[in-house]
Amino acid sequence: MGLIVSSLGIKDVPLIKDEVKFSNKVILFFKRLGVILDFKKSKESIQQLLNGFIPINKHYDLNKKVYQFTIDRCKHNPECILCEFSENCDYFNRKNDWAD
């Protein structure tokens, strides 16, 4: 519960948690980064996972920025050498399911 201060005092109200439907590109980014390790999970369970750990009211903004990042850098043929995440990226470092 969150607290709202009004002229009548303080009262508890439920915090609204955003639920975003992440695009396939955004999901692929999180797989490459190593946030999603089980590639056989359903898209629905991946959506729940991502929505579960993103801070309240940040889903839309994060989805939008990561989507733009996937267009600019982490695309079908990613520009890993230029990527800010490459040091920690499972895809770039060939870790987990990305290993040969």
Contact 93/80 with Cβ under 8 angstroms? no
Three-state DSSP at 67 gives helix
Q: Check residue 92 and give its pLDDT.
A: 93
Domain ranges for the chain, please list them. Answer: 17-98
What's the whole-model pTM score? 0.75
What is the four-CA torsion angle of 57, 60, 61, 65, rounded to 10 degrees?
A: 150
Q: What is the mean pLDDT of residues 3-24?
A: 58
* Token pair 């929505």: residue: 51
Top CATH class, 17-98: mainly alpha
| Structure confidence by residue, pLDDT tens digits, 15-59 | 455 677 888 999 999 999 998 888 888 999 998 888 887 877 787
